[in-house]
Amino acid sequence: MLTERPNANTYTAALVQFHWRQNPSENLQHVLAAVELIGRRGGVRLVALPEFFLGPPFYFPGCEHLRGTVDDTVPGRVTDLLGDLARRYSLYILAGTIVEREGDSYFNCSPVIDPAGEVVGKARKVHCYAAELMAIQPSDDQLIVDTPLGRIGVCVCSDFWIQEMPRLLALRGAEIIYVSGASLSQELGITRPCIQANSVHNVCYTLYTSVVGGVIGERAGRAFAIEFGGYTAAADPSRLLGTLDDQEAVLYVEIDLERVRELRQVDVTFKNTLYWGLWGRRPELYNGLTKPYVGADADLRCVLEAYLM
């Protein structure tokens, strides 16, 4: 349940992009060092990490040996280490994703850690993609965390590319939509326009993070490669605030929630048009959104199973 919204000031957010190291422990140490440097720099209140910051998950091609290494409980060892830094430097940390282990089940999970070092929410991926359809459990829930820095809605990678997901978060009041992503290299050309469009359509900030790296293995008896190209970016309703290409860097952006709240208010002069995307809706006409795509005459999981045989 959302609590009463506190006043938010302008503040700085830091989005971390890095190159996968050789093994998960190196990746973890690099991320911890990056957050430490951000904390020492001062002036930052929110840190956003990318998806799979421990390295490729065990269900990627050629990565089966990483089972038990790149997965963890949430809360657990990894969130405890990040929580120590959050507490030391009074940070909110949007903690990328961890392959969460719960009994015999796995989830692609994005934790939110507060300045007390506690996990105050975790978004488990709703729209599983590719090998995830076979390896992890999908969630049925959406996460919004009400913080002094605004209402934050979380999308886990391909959740962002199902338009209903960020839309529903915005309709529930999310002022910042955080996407812990891993940008496929073949889709880089469309990534930034979609980040900007999300902020326009939903009158919100979009914070999109990604890693740079790749894996090579076999899938269905064929050589198969997955490459992630970075493209971390942030947008507000009027512009891209900053972007990275494939370099290892931290993107610093300024967040002004009062501006977003102003743009969401009705302007009777119709000079501010952005609010219309939220206020001009006619939900009684949208029952078709609960129906599947007209071309979806086969279950995607069954198609993937046939491919992998």
Answer yes or no: are the C-beta atoms of 293 and 306 closer than 8 Å: no
Q: Are strands 150-156 and 212-219 parallel, antiparallel or unpaired?
A: unpaired
Closest to 139 measured CA to CA, from 127, 157, 131, 121: 127
pLDDT value at position 303? 67
Residues 184-200 have pLDDT tens digits of 999 999 999 999 999 99
Contacts for 257 with CB less than 8 Å, ≥ 6 apart:
8, 10, 149, 150, 175, 176, 205
The per-residue pLDDT for 1 is: 38
| Per-residue tokens: 41 | 């720099």
Per-residue pLDDT of 92-135, as tens digits, reads 999 999 999 999 999 999 999 999 999 999 999 999 998 899 99
Gap between the Cα atoms of 74 and 87, Å rounded: 17
Residue 150 zone, left/alpha/beta (φ > 0; ψ -120 to 50; rest)? left
As a three-state string, the secondary structure of the chain is CCCCCCCCCCEEEEEEECECCCCHHHHHHHHHHHHHHHHHHCCEEEEEECCCCCCCCCCCCCCHHHCCCCEECCCCHHHHHHHHHHHHHCCEEEECCEEEEECCEEEEEEEEECCCCCEEEEEECCCCCCCHHHHCCCCCCCEEEEECCEEEEEEEHHHHHCCHHHHHHHHCCCCEEEEECCCEHHHHHHHHHHHHHHHHHHCCEEEEECCEEEEEEEECCEEEEEEEECCCEEEECCEEEEECCCCCEEEEEEECHHHHHHHCCCCCCCCCCCCHHHHCCCHHHCHHHHCCCCCCCCCHHHHHHHHHC
**How far is 111 from 2, CA to CA, in rounded Å?**
18
- Percent pLDDT > 70 in the chain is 93
Region 16-40 average pLDDT: 97
Chain CA centroid to CA 80, Å? 20
Residue 218, pLDDT score: 84
Average pLDDT over residues 25-43: 97
Cα 289 to its chain centre, rounded Å, is 23
Of 274, 212, 287, the closest CA to residue 244 belongs to: 212
Q: How far is Cα 120 from Cα 281, in angstroms, rounded to an integer?
A: 32
Short-list 81, 82, 83, 134, CA closest to 106: 134
What is the chain's mean pLDDT, rounded? 93
- Quick: pLDDT tens for 218-257: 877 788 899 999 999 999 999 999 999 999 999 999 999 9
pLDDT tens readout for residues 55-79? 999 999 999 999 999 999 999 999 9
Q: Cβ-count burial of 296 within 10 angstroms (0-12 exposed, 13-18 middle, 19+ buried)?
A: exposed
Q: Which CATH architecture has domain 11-308?
A: 4-Layer Sandwich (3.60)
pLDDT of residue 297: 65
Count of other CB atoms within 10 angstroms of residue 81: 16
Structure tokens at 106: 């796995």
4 confidence band (pLDDT: 50, 70, 90): very low
Report pTM: 0.93
Give pLDDT, residue 7.
46
Assess contact for 178 and 123: CB atoms under 8 A. Answer: no
pLDDT of residue 304: 67
pLDDT of residue 220: 75
> What is the pLDDT, as a whole number, of residue 270?
87
Segment 201-218, tens digit of pLDDT? 999 999 999 999 999 988
